[in-house]
Amino acid sequence: MGVWEYEDFAAAREEGKLRHVCVTGSWGLLSSWLVRSLLAKGYNVRSTVHTTAEEAKELMALPGAKERLELTQADLMDYGSLAEVFMGCYGVFHTASPSDLVSNYPPEMIDWEVRGTLNVVEACANAAVKRLVLTSSLSAMVWDHQRTPGACIDEKCWSNLDFCRSKKLWGPLAKTMTEKAAWALARDKELDMVVINPAIVLGPKLLTSRASIMNYLQGMKELPQSGLFAYLHVEDLAQIHISALEITKASGRYICYERVVSEFELVELIRKLYPERSVPSRFSKSGSPHVLTNQKLQTLGIKVQQV
């Protein structure tokens, strides 16, 4: 896979040399913060995120948006429209990711997500994009009943597809299949791609709404592994995506989380944040946190804040 050599980004921003980056995907917590963070750092941004008129107005009200934000249209199922939008961009962020990867994921969306992401990879390669930053998920790593208890989950780990199918874990299945397909095509096309594998993302969606732990837990039948509940703040995740574009030595996959809590800690957190709600019985037991590591992310000098 090719190595991207580019002039220092800080100097480029000072000299006004930065060209366009593109943010694709669906309107959501990450995409909204990523657009805001990119504008704040001086980037010229194209966004193909589908928004309502109210959401578009909200985006265009961000500092720098009138001068450096272009809202455009591209269909993930239409390779040609993607290639056209990516032309002239040296960086693309593909953030299409369901907010709830465990419950309520329609199985018929799996093929759409895989094919859409492959179109993005193909279009990036043919449009001479220098680096694609793809948002995957920690759920593409943790669901494996064959893993030795207590074994550390790192960037070499993958969720077991057969296990996901047997448990009807369509979200993790989609993320695992999508990421594996994207890696295969990126290597074939010699496209420089970095993949971000975040845990549960918390934080405000710009000014209008707030991601909720309870939203994630609604309908969730079980935790991925014994006691596994990891999270991070969306502002950190947006900055991690930008660093994955800017830092030349970034490569491969990156697990992103702030901390892992046990089921007991999770119950106490729910009671503290939502005292008026009852705790789901499936989380009312004590458990030991599974072992995760974000050591690879730390080698880039990236630290995440306390949520």
Q: What is the pLDDT of residues 191-226, one digit of tens each?
A: 999 999 999 888 775 534 444 555 555 545 545 544
* Of 24, 292, 13, 244, the residue nearest 133 (C-alpha): 244
Is there a domain that residue 246 lies in?
yes
Query: Is residue 299 situated within a structural domain?
Result: no
CB crowding 98-136: b at 16 or more within 10 Å, else e: bbebbeebeeeebeebbebbbbbbbbbbebebbbbbbbb
Look at residue 46 and tell me whether its pLDDT is greater than 90. Answer: yes
How would you write 156-199 as a 3-class SS string? CCCCCHHHHHHCCCHHHHHHHHHHHHHHHHHHHHCCCEEEEEEC
Tokens of 64: 């720098």
Mean pLDDT check: name the lowest of 92-106, 217-231, 282-296.
Answer: 217-231
Instruction: Work out the pLDDT band at 259, boundaries 50, 70, 90.
Output: confident
Structure letter (DSSP) for residue 279: P
Q: Is residue 280 part of a domain?
A: no
| 174/114 Cα distance (integer angstroms) | 7
Between 29 and 307, name the one with better pLDDT. 29
209 versus 24: the higher-pLDDT residue is: 24
Give the residue with greater pLDDT, 115 vs 51: 115
Please state which of the ranges 100-109, 147-156, 213-222 shows the lowest mean pLDDT: 213-222
Report which secondary-structure segment, H or E, holds 71: strand 69-71
Marked catalytic residue, from 130, 167, 168, 175: 175
**Structural domain range at position 253:** 9-202+234-257
Q: Specify if 218 maps to a domain.
A: no
Q: What CATH number should be reported for the domain holding residue 242?
A: 3.40.50.720
DSSP letter (8 states) at residue 153:
B
β-bridge mates for residue 210, sequence order: 204
Q: How far apart are the first and last CA of the chain?
A: 36
Residue 279 lies in a domain: no
Q: What does pLDDT average to over the chain? A: 82
Q: What is the mean pLDDT of residues 122-134?
A: 96
pLDDT at 82: 96
Amino acid at 143: W
Residue 302 lies in a domain: no
Asked, for residue 49, whether it belongs to a domain, the answer is: yes
Does position 109 have pLDDT exceeding 60, yes or no? yes
pLDDT at 261: 74
Question: Which amino acid is it at 248?
Answer: T
| Alpha-carbon distances of 306 from 34, 105, 200, rounded to whole Å | 19, 29, 14
Q: Which of 102-116, 138-152, 197-211 has the lowest mean pLDDT?
A: 197-211
Determine, yes or no, domain membership for 162.
yes
Looking at per-residue pLDDT, the higher value among 122 and 291 belongs to 122
Cα distance between residue 88 and residue 90, in whole Å: 6
Q: Cα 34 from chain centroid?
A: 10
pLDDT-derived band at 93, boundaries 50, 70, 90: very high
Q: Please say if 272 is a catalytic residue.
A: no
pLDDT tens across 52-78, in order? 888 889 889 999 999 999 999 899 999
Q: What is the mean pLDDT of residues 89-118?
A: 83
Q: How many domains does the chain divide into?
A: 1
Other beta carbons within 10 angstroms of residue 251's beta carbon come to: 17
The pTM for the full model equals 0.86
- The DSSP bridge partners found for residue 135 are 196
- The torsion angle over the Cα atoms of residues 218, 220, 222 and 223, rounded to 10 degrees, is -80
